[in-house]
Structure 1
Amino acid sequence: MSEHKILIVDDQNGIRMLLTEVFGSEGYKTYQAANGKEALELLQKDRPDLVLLDMKIPGMDGLEILRHIKASDPDIKVIMMTAYGELDMIKEAKDQGALMHFTKPFDIDEMRLAVGRYLRGE
């Protein structure tokens, strides 16, 4: 099995560290970005299989980053994370190709299961 790559994009260091630890311990190669510029640079360089993308990031919001991801490679899977109940933004993210979203604080086991399912192509 090839090593799947996950890009974690969140401006909160604690969330990036938690997700890096969880998915790293499951054998995934993880990358972190604190903002849109870093995310897009890593996207070009490392071609992740899946992106965990926060909706609210200073500078460039999650929807804008999502548009860039899907424009560069429509096959990259994207799961949105949001701390707010912004149903219109969530709907727009799904319309633009996000698979699903998790509301913070999310259940890490649910996220692990979802990521595993999507990376196995289920």
Structure 2
Amino acid sequence: MGEKILENASILIVDDQLGVRKLLFEALKSRYREVLMVASGLEAIEIVQKSPPDLVLVDMKMPRMNGLETIKRLRDMAFENPIILMTAYGELGIVTEALKMGVKHHITKPFDIKELRNLIQETLTERVSTPKGS
């Protein structure tokens, strides 16, 4: 049953770099029901308001609204689904802030696609197996 739930998941990629968005889209599109891509935190907020995805991958370094601000705004909207923060090497202070906002996982760029796929799978599995409010 868990595998079917995971296949039906929707993923939102938030990264200002088109190349990164395309790479992630190609790596994930065959595994999940829907993979959406946006270039900014503001666009992510619009998507989440309309149809909340099951998981959000958000880059830290983006113009206008960085990853932490995007996460804060999503959490302020009561978006409780998992968020994975993508950071550059050495941004431990940022990761600590993200953890305080309920982000359980992060991945450091450059990352291995297989490692990212596994992290997404693990994160979605945790969500399915953890009762709401835990």
So what's the TM-score if we normalise by structure 1? 0.93
Partners in 2 of 1:64 and 1:100 — Cα distance? 17
Q: CA RMSD in A?
A: 1.3
2:21 is the alignment partner of 1:16: yes
Partner of 2:132: none
Percent identical: 44
For these two proteins, the number of residue pairs brought into alignment is 122
For 2:86, give the aligned amino acid.
M
1:28/1:22 CA distance change after superposition, 3 Å: farther
Listed as ranges, the matches of 1:89-100 within 5 Å are 89-100=94-105
CA distance in 1 between partners of 2:95 and 2:32 (Å): 29
SS in 1 for 2:36: strand
Per-residue deviation, 1:84: 3.9
Displacement of 1:74: 4.2
Which residue of structure 2 lines up, in the alignment, with residue 88 of structure 1?
93
Q: Which of these residues, 27, 33, 36, is aligned with residue 31 of structure 1?
A: 36
The runs of 5 or more residues in structure 2 that have no matched partner are 130-134
In 2: Cα distance, 1:107 partner to 1:69 partner? 27
Q: Is the 8 A contact 1:53 1:78 kept in 2?
A: yes
After TM superposition, the structure 1 stretch with the greater mean CA deviation from structure 2, 43-52 or 65-74, is: 65-74
Counterpart position of 1:56 = 61
Paired residue secondary structure (2:29): helix
TM-score where L is the length of structure 2: 0.85
How far residue 75 of structure 1 moved from its aligned partner, in angstroms, is 2.1
Query: d(CA) in 2 for partners of 1:118 and 1:84?
Result: 21
Aligned to 2:64, what secondary structure does the other structure show?
coil
Gaps in structure 1 of 5+ consecutive residues: none
Pick one of 41, 47, 52 that aligns with 2:46. Answer: 41
1:70 deviates by: 1.5
Distance 1:46 1:30 in 2: 12
Q: Which runs of 4+ in 1 moved over 4 A?
A: none
Deviates more, 1:73-82 or 1:12-21: 73-82
Cα distance in structure 2, aligned partners of 1:8 and 1:72? 18
